[in-house]
Structure 1
Amino acid sequence: MSARTVDPATEAFLAHRNLLFTVAYEMLGSAVDAEDVLQETWLRWVGVDLDTVLDQRAYLVRITTRQALSRLRTLRRRKESYVGPWLPEPLLTAPDVAEDVELADSVSMAMLLVLETLTPTERAVFVLREVFDLDYDEIAAAVGKNPATVRQIAHRARAHVAARRPREVVSVTETRGAIEAFRRAVETGDLQHLLDILAPEVVLLADGGGVVPAGQGPIVGAERVAEVLGRVAAVASLHPAPVNGYPALIVRINGEIDAVMTVRVDGGLIAGLYAVRNPEKLSYLRREAVLQRRARGLSAPNDATGTSTGR
């Protein structure tokens, strides 16, 4: 369909698609589920009489939020029976996302893990208020509460997140430096250098979902983590890529994506490592990586650029 024949409903939806996807992803921690929510949003949006809509952006955010809330409650029930540590689904992000420090921090793996500790409504209110700066009346319409109640929820969620989020927002440059030093140490087998860049009480979480081998719990301590990473290095190659707003590593075995590893840097040292191996959680990222390689004319694995998120 040419741009000239795009109907008003489609045009409005496409104009706000990145925003809607980011809202859904930050609420759900899953790109696959966020895409499903966007599909549900679209199906409801095409049935709306646009002449009755005063603010198309707000209306679309409202539909997306309600669909994401419904799905989030279902996901929470699934997580109760999840095998091993649960991590958010990694998302390839465009390099320009890192330039927006607040947006990059809001989709970081560390922040998404903090958001997991909120109730569904608290999470929705926090994301819409703190990340997208919606006013309380808009949020109230989206979550089905009155503005006074939303203000209370926002205050409670803000305090909860502040008590659990990383102490400081680490720059992309610092994270990139830590990732590169980490990659060199792992690939060269330089154990001492690896120990030097790992915090003494570093924590490694690996999410296999019971589908592929992964630890059943956190691995704590620099020496234990270094031992595990040494085994990974023997069979895998590490490729830098922008994931969840920050530099990360794509772990490939025989050229295929086996895991995505993000890090949390604290005080110049790597304090947290998050490795997602569950194939279901890598399906969206694998598809995006293939599409990007084709678009760039690459036939072999390389560092990846990312999809975009937006406000």
Structure 2
Amino acid sequence: MDDVTEAVEVFVRLRPRLVRIAHRILSGASEAEDVVQETWLRWQRTDRTAIRNPQALLVTTTTRIALNVAQSGRRRHEVPMDFGSVEILDTAADPATRAENHQAAEQVLLVMLASLSRAERTAYLLREVHDCSYEQIAATLDIELANSRQLVCRARRRLTLELAG
């Protein structure tokens, strides 16, 4: 079997999984299809003789392209996010899908937290994850109580704006 035929077979076999990954990150079937198409183009240009695990490469490529699209200015500023009309893909409840969902959610969370300043991120995580009081946050960060409240408030506002689009 020649390299091109094998490359096509690998991609076709993994394509449904790649679409699900991109869809979970972008929440849109058409954007997910575009990401998978870009993955296919990159897969065609790749020197596949050096690839030990084609599945890992294709999943990683799809994830990174989808995250780039999610972070792009065009998407953030021109596409309103309407949670009532989010397209739904049929995803089976198998362990691989659950693991992909978990990984995609972690990556989206990391991208969103990266948009915060260090102080906002720390205050937000102390408050929301560790359930610290504002007094504890102020003492930990060596700031005034009002400042700790303001940092958490700003972080929530920024994350809400990130989610909205």
Q: Distance in 1 between matches of 2:46 and 2:68?
A: 20
Amino acid corresponding to residue 77 of structure 2 in structure 1: R
Q: Distance in 2 between matches of 1:100 and 1:43?
A: 29
Q: Is the partner of 1:46 in helix, strand or coil?
A: helix
What TM-score, normalized by structure 1, do the two folds share? 0.30
- 1:16-27 matched pairs, under 5 angstroms: 16-27=14-25
- 1:1-311 matched pairs, under 5 angstroms: 7-74=5-72, 75-79=75-79, 82=80, 86-87=82-83, 89-93=86-90, 97=92, 99-100=93-94, 103=97, 118=109, 120=111
The structural deviation recorded for 1:70 is: 1.4
Q: Which runs of 5+ in 1 are unaligned?
A: 1-5, 123-155, 164-311
The structural deviation recorded for 1:63 is: 1.3
Amino acid corresponding to residue 26 of structure 1 in structure 2: R
Check whether the contact 1:24–1:64 (CA below 8 A) recurs between aligned residues: yes
Check whether the contact 2:23–2:89 (CA below 8 A) recurs between aligned residues: no
Q: Which runs of 5+ in 2 are unaligned?
A: 114-124, 132-165
Aligned length: 110
Instruction: Say which structure is richer in helix.
Output: 2
86 and 23 in structure 1: CA distance in 2 versus 1, 3 angstrom threshold: same
Check whether the contact 1:72–1:120 (CA below 8 A) recurs between aligned residues: no
Amino acid corresponding to residue 90 of structure 2 in structure 1: T
Q: Is the partner of 2:86 in helix, strand or coil?
A: coil
Which consecutive aligned stretches of 4+ in structure 1 deviate over 2 angstroms post-superposition? 74-79, 99-104, 117-122
Check whether the contact 1:31–1:89 (CA below 8 A) recurs between aligned residues: no
32 and 100 in structure 1: CA distance in 2 versus 1, 3 angstrom threshold: same
Q: Distance in 2 between matches of 1:24 and 1:30?
A: 8
Show CA shifts across 1:18-43 (max 9, x none).
22111111111111100000000000
Q: Is the partner of 2:109 in helix, strand or coil?
A: coil
Instruction: Say which structure is richer in strand.
Output: 1
* Identity fraction in percent: 31
Q: Distance in 1 between matches of 2:18 and 2:112?
A: 17
Amino acid corresponding to residue 54 of structure 2 in structure 1: Q
Q: Is the partner of 1:41 in helix, strand or coil?
A: helix
Amino acid corresponding to residue 93 of structure 1 in structure 2: D
What TM-score, normalized by structure 2, do the two folds share? 0.52
Q: Distance in 2 between matches of 1:56 and 1:19?
A: 13
Check whether the contact 1:37–1:68 (CA below 8 A) recurs between aligned residues: yes
Q: Distance in 1 between matches of 2:40 and 2:8?
A: 9
Q: Distance in 1 between matches of 2:20 and 2:45?
A: 23
59 and 29 in structure 1: CA distance in 2 versus 1, 3 angstrom threshold: same
The structural deviation recorded for 1:100 is: 3.5
